[in-house]
Structure 1
Amino acid sequence: MVTEVGVRRIGPDDWTLWRGLRLAALADAPDAFGSSSAVERRFDEGEWRARLAPEHGLRAVAFAGETPAGIVGARPPAGSPPHVELVGMWVHPDARGGETARLLVGEVLAWAGEQGCPAVSLFVTETNDRARRLYERFGFAGTGEWEPLESNPVLRCARMIRTAGLVPHPG
């Protein structure tokens, strides 16, 4: 039996769900995020709720049936030219290789389109080839811009951007 995967946008009232998934993501893939489990474990309820407020962008959770399978965020349009930034994407190890990652990226692209934003950017750690290939299938391309990973400055992150249409597709 195949479990259907879906994505749901969440808000401040879903803070306990988000906190659990975010802390799991930071523990599972510490070199994929600019923050760390040690930092975010100290956040109180108010901080978690604030991070999920609509003015801070999109937060979405993928579910395989009733089971959370992954998370993604997006910051509101900013910069010149304006772009949405995809942040904090993570897929639970049990859900990797399926539809979850594609659905999460698609949700960010759809949200960016709803914001009237012509581009989506992201940073991906130089060692995360699997994620880079996923983003390339969605039409993201490297910009040549690099920056150190905040949580582990030994690693670098490459900026990627997608500017050609925001209709989600799996490539």
Structure 2
Amino acid sequence: MSDRYRVRRAVAEDWSVSRAIRLQALAEAPLAFASTLERETAFDPDQWRERIAGAAQFLAETDDGEVVGTATGVADPGEPGTTLLVAMFVAPPARGQGLGDRLVAAVVDQARSDGADRVLLHVVETNPGAERLYARCGFARTGATVPLPHRPDLIEHEMVLGL
């Protein structure tokens, strides 16, 4: 793993870099997320700030401040004690250096600190690399599936990590 990168929690002032990495993720991997580039391009700055304020978003960045990855943990409003891991992405040039593991660990550590019992995520069937990352981090399929919202012909597998 490279020490060229650091992972830190996002703050409201990070809204523009948060927006940039999220739009990059949606552009480069449109089938990996439950949202779309078209939808999120329309968000205004206040919506990006609200996203950061309402969740535990982590950013991976280079020593010069370039954001190359992100992952977010958000409390599941329908399941007390459950944190949802969402919006996980590492830019292609930064992959293979342990950033995905570090971002997942940051979300898991925050969930544990917040008193969550488990971290839950969904991974689309066409993204085996992401599923391998999550399995390496201790997540396991639950057997539950849901359709990808904007492509219901694709299935997302639910994975969970008990804390």
Normalising TM by the smaller chain, what interval?
over 0.9
Percent of matched pairs sharing the same residue: 38
The whole-number CA distance in structure 2 between the counterparts of 1:12 and 1:99 is 26
Asked if the contact 1:62–1:68 (Cα under 8 Å) also holds between the matched residues in 2, the reply is yes
Aligned residue number for residue 59 of structure 2: 61
Q: SS where residue 33 of structure 1 aligns?
A: coil
How far 1:80 moved relative to its partner? 4.4
The whole-number CA distance in structure 2 between the counterparts of 1:88 and 1:108 is 11
How far 1:151 moved relative to its partner? 2.2
Question: CA RMSD for the aligned pairs?
Answer: 1.4
Asked if the contact 1:69–1:100 (Cα under 8 Å) also holds between the matched residues in 2, the reply is no
Aligned residue number for residue 47 of structure 2: 47
- Flag the 1:114–1:77 CA change in 2: closer, same or farther, 3 A: farther
Q: Summarize deviations over 1:4-63 as a string: whole Å, max 9, x none.
A: 22101112221111111111110010000111111111111111111111xx22111101
Asked if the contact 1:77–1:85 (Cα under 8 Å) also holds between the matched residues in 2, the reply is yes
- Output the TM-score relative to the length of structure 1: 0.89
Structure 1 runs (4+) deviating above 4 angstroms are: 77-81
The whole-number CA distance in structure 2 between the counterparts of 1:80 and 1:26 is 27
Alignment of 1:83-122 (within 5 A): 83-122=82-121
How far 1:77 moved relative to its partner? 5.0
Alignment pair present for 1:28 and 2:12: no
Letter in 2 for 1:98: Q
How far 1:78 moved relative to its partner? 4.4
Q: How many matched pairs?
A: 161
How far 1:98 moved relative to its partner? 1.1
Alignment pair present for 1:134 and 2:104: no
Aligned residue number for residue 148 of structure 1: 147
Could you list the runs of 5+ residues in structure 1 that have no partner in the other structure? 166-171
Q: SS where residue 115 of structure 2 aligns?
A: coil
How far 1:64 moved relative to its partner? 2.7
Asked if the contact 1:33–1:151 (Cα under 8 Å) also holds between the matched residues in 2, the reply is no
The whole-number CA distance in structure 2 between the counterparts of 1:92 and 1:149 is 22
The whole-number CA distance in structure 2 between the counterparts of 1:144 and 1:4 is 38
Bigger Cα displacement from structure 2, 86-95 vs 59-68: 59-68
Letter in 2 for 1:122: L
The whole-number CA distance in structure 1 between the counterparts of 2:80 and 2:42 is 35
The whole-number CA distance in structure 1 between the counterparts of 2:145 and 2:76 is 20
The whole-number CA distance in structure 2 between the counterparts of 1:45 and 1:93 is 26
Could you list the runs of 5+ residues in structure 2 that have no partner in the other structure? none
